């Protein structure tokens, strides 16, 4: 399995550039039920992949995605986030996805995408992670 990280960089309209690394760990199938738990809109997929997360007006930082669904994601991060905060998740090869922090528990953060991912995009991201 190729575990080399994928490099990316981007610049916004004001010329500020952000660089990052998208890395994928070993994929472990979720031990969770196939149907979403009570209150959850969609099934989530357990993944271990690096991405970049940024807050409004801040630079992106590396985070570890723990699970991902069309509606949101859970990450491990050192950022001091709070419920209701706006964040942008950058997955390699995709434009940054706007999300809202729904809960914070220590270094784990759960976020809901403002616009859900298309199921094919989720499948592509997970498949790309499995190839690494």
CA distance 110 to 130: 22
Parallel, antiparallel, or unpaired: how do β-strands 72-76 and 108-113 relate?
A: antiparallel
Classify residue 7: in a domain, yes or no: no
Number of domains making up the chain? 1
Query: Could you read off the pLDDT of 6-35 as tens digits, one per residue?
Result: 444 544 444 444 444 444 343 333 333 334
CA distance 5 to 82: 29
Classify residue 84: in a domain, yes or no: yes
- Tokens for 66, please give them: 């723990």
Which residue would you say has higher pLDDT here, 127 or 55? 55
Classify residue 132: in a domain, yes or no: no
CA distance 110 to 124: 21
Which residues span the domain enclosing 115?
A: 44-125
Classify residue 28: in a domain, yes or no: no
Classify residue 114: in a domain, yes or no: yes
CA distance 104 to 94: 25
Any idea what the CATH number is for the domain that residue 53 is in? 2.40.10.220
Query: Could you read off the pLDDT of 38-91 as tens digits, one per residue?
Result: 555 667 888 888 899 999 888 889 999 999 999 999 999 989 899 999 999 998
* Secondary structure E strands in 33-96: 45-55, 61-68, 72-76, 86-90
């Amino acid at each position: 399995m190729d575990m080399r990280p994928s490099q990316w960089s981007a610049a916004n309209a004001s010329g500020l550039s952000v660089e990052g690394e998208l890395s994928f760990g070993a994929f472990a199938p979720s031990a969770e039920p196939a149907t979403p738990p009570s209150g959850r809109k969609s099934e989530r997929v357990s993944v271990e992949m690096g991405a970049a997360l940024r807050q409004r007006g801040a630079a992106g930082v590396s985070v570890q995605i723990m699970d991902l669904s069309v509606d949101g994601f859970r990450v491990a991060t050192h950022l001091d986030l709070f419920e209701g905060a706006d964040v942008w998740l950058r997955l390699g090869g995709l434009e940054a996805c706007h999300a809202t922090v729904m809960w914070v528990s220590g270094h784990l953060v759960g976020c809901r995408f403002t616009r859900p991912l298309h199921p094919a995009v989720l499948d592509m991201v997970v498949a790309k992670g499995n190839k690494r």
